[in-house]
Amino acid sequence: MITSSRARLGALTLTGVLSLALVAGCSGGSDGKQNAGEPSGAASSAAGGGAVPGGALSEKELAGLIVGAGDVKGFEVSEPGEGDLFGGSFEDVEVEGGEGCEALAEVVSGSAAGDAKAHVSRQATQERAEGAGEVPSLEDAMRLDVTMVTLATYEGDGARRAVRSVADAVESCTDGFTVTLPGQDPALYDEVVAEEGVAAEGADETVAFALTGAPVKEGGPASSVHGQAVRHGDNVVTYLTVNLGDMSDGKRYEVSAPVVAAQARKLG
Give the mean pLDDT of 240-253. 87
∠ CA 33-239-160, nearest 5°, is 85
Q: Give tens-digit pLDDT for 140-176.
A: 777 889 999 999 999 999 999 999 999 999 999 999 9
Residue 48 pLDDT exceeds 80: no
Domain membership of residue 4 (yes or no) is no
Residue 14 pLDDT exceeds 80: no
Residue 199 pLDDT exceeds 80: yes
Domain membership of residue 66 (yes or no) is yes
Domain CATH number, residue 113: 3.40.1000.70
Domain membership of residue 88 (yes or no) is yes
Q: How far is CA 257 from the centre of its chain?
A: 12
108 DSSP assignment: H
Neighbouring residues of 133: CB distance < 8 A, sequence distance ≥ 6 = none
Residue 128 pLDDT exceeds 70: yes
Give the mean pLDDT of 239-260. 91
Number of structural domains the chain divides into: 1
User: Domain containing 56: what range?
Assistant: 10-266
Comparing CA positions, the residue from 256, 195, 267 lying closest to residue 46 is: 267
**Other CB atoms closer than 10 Å to residue 40's CB: what's the count?**
16
4 or 198, which is more confident? 198
Domain membership of residue 3 (yes or no) is no
Domain membership of residue 109 (yes or no) is yes
Domain membership of residue 46 (yes or no) is yes
Strand pairing partners for 178?
96, 188
Residue 13 pLDDT exceeds 70: no
Domain membership of residue 2 (yes or no) is no
